[in-house]
Amino acid sequence: DAPGHRDFIKNMITGTSQADVALLMIASPQGEFEAGIAKEGQTREHALLAFTLGVKQMIVCVNKMDDKTVNWSKDRFEEIKKEISDYLKKVGYNPG
């Protein structure tokens, strides 16, 4: 487990370097997802670090779909799925 807070990046790197597979939790609420996927966002940073450290399998989970800004929206889920898949392809993963 590697919390998303920047103070824990060292712990994230240590744990990830020993992992066979990673679990990437994506926050779906408006603003939270956008912050994570932004150029300096932690979602991008964690995915890139995981691949660089040799983790070739990643499970992606979209969390907080019950948030009032999302309300279980399939459109929001598909938007997130597309953006994450596109980014993971650029990193080197093969999203299925």
Task: Find where tokens 């980014």 sit.
Answer: 87
Q: Is residue 96 part of a domain?
A: no
Q: Is residue 50 part of a domain?
A: yes
Of 52, 61, 59, the closest CA to residue 92 belongs to: 52
Q: What is the pLDDT of residues 60-77, one digit of tens each?
A: 999 999 999 999 999 999
**Global pTM?**
0.84
Q: Is residue 54 part of a domain?
A: yes
Q: What is the pLDDT of residues 35-56, one digit of tens each?
A: 999 998 989 988 999 999 999 9
Please enumerate in sequence order all residues whose Cβ is within 8 A of that of 21, keeping only pairs 6 or more positions apart, or say none. 55, 57, 58, 59
Residue 42 structural domain:
6-91
Neighbours of 22 (CB within 10 A): 22
Query: Residue 76 maps to which CATH number?
Result: 3.40.50.300
Number of domains in the chain: 1
Measured distance CA(29)–CA(94) in Å, rounded: 25
